[in-house]
Amino acid sequence: MRVEKLQWHPAFVAALHIEFAAELDVLEIEAEHQLGKKPMQIDVLVVKKAEGVAIRKNIGRIFQKYNVIEYKSPEDVLCVDDFYKVYGYACFYLSETGRVGEISPGDMTITFVCNHYPRRMLKHLTASRGLSVVKRGEGIYYLAGDEYSMQVIITKELSKEENYWLQNLRNDLKAGAEIRSLLKNYEGKEREPYHQAVMDLIVRANREQIEEERAMCEALKELYMDLYADEWKEAQEKAHESGVEQGEYRTKNIFKLFAAGTPVELIAKKCGVTVEKVQQILE
């Protein structure tokens, strides 16, 4: 199996839409906001569209008018250089409005999101910049003592009740109860784009755990096949282009799915044939 580079950022932006679902009427979430003409861009810019409205969501209570977010995937770490880069982005954004003083530091916040507690970075900020770290909730730490309001969010420490999808956006889920809970929470949301994007990345990031669990869970088998339908289609097209007969390729897929414990009805659905045809091939 080829090793793929996981695209965490789109799933993170999708998770933000889920987190702030009740307040999207007052928030505008913009991924990869470009800064100036050079290749500098903010991971996520959240703009509060209504003045004087307090954001109720725990990870957004710090928000002001303009909110810069830096996201680090579970495969990455948040370091001192990241802090100064993003701090500089916020200053640059403030200065690029076209009118002097149009945005003040009090109108902006900076949020750092990562999976691992950035101990070295926070030690540097407290020692060199005189900032203090104040825990304001599960996985939420405010950085006090600067003109900008800032916070660090540790995704794996977030509340499972209040931040379920963002908390599960990681690559170390455990087979068993945690995977089954994921499936249960996804029920009824299979056609919702943001949930689909987050779920797709979670499944890809936790392939081994998913594989282990889906051998015992029929519903998870179907979900797995749905999420990877495009890959199956691409594989079929490549096989066809290379001169392999479509019928022969379909037969191989049928045997492969059957060996993985996939129900005959689901095999028929995925391979585009009747149940009778599948049974005939397997006999």
**Are residues 194 and 110 both part of a single domain?**
no
The first and second tokens of residue 232, run together, are 């199956």
Of 211, 227, 243, which marks where a domain is finished?
Answer: 227
pLDDT for 233 equals 60
The first and second tokens of residue 68, run together, are 């810069």
Q: Which residue matches tokens 């869970």?
A: 217
**Are residues 254 and 184 both part of a single domain?**
no
What 3-state DSSP class applies to 43? strand
pLDDT for 132 equals 97
pTM of this prediction exceeds 0.85: no
Q: Which residue matches tokens 């390729």?
A: 249
| Residuewise pLDDT in 10s, the chain (283 residues) | 556 678 899 999 999 999 999 999 999 999 888 776 666 789 999 999 988 899 999 999 999 999 999 999 999 999 999 999 999 999 999 888 767 768 889 999 999 999 999 999 999 999 999 999 999 999 999 999 999 999 999 999 999 999 999 999 999 998 888 888 988 899 889 889 999 899 989 988 998 887 777 665 655 656 666 665 565 566 556 555 554 455 665 676 776 666 555 667 777 777 777 877 777 776 6
162 within domain boundaries: no
What 3-state DSSP class applies to 88? helix
Domain that holds residue 132: 8-157
**Are residues 47 and 114 both part of a single domain?**
yes
**Are residues 257 and 119 both part of a single domain?**
no
**Are residues 210 and 261 both part of a single domain?**
no
**Are residues 223 and 239 both part of a single domain?**
no
Give the CA radius of gyration of the chain. Answer: 23
In the DSSP assignment, the letter for residue 154 is E
Of 106, 127, 157, which marks where a domain is finished?
Answer: 157
pLDDT for 123 equals 97
145 within domain boundaries: yes
Q: CA-based diameter of the chain, in Å? A: 78
Work out how many domains the chain is built from and give that number: 3
The first and second tokens of residue 246, run together, are 């479509």
CA–CA separation, 159 and 166 (whole Å): 9
Query: Per-residue DSSP letters for 117-150?
Result: --HHHHHHHHHHS--EEEEEETTEEEEESSSSEE
**Are residues 13 and 151 both part of a single domain?**
yes
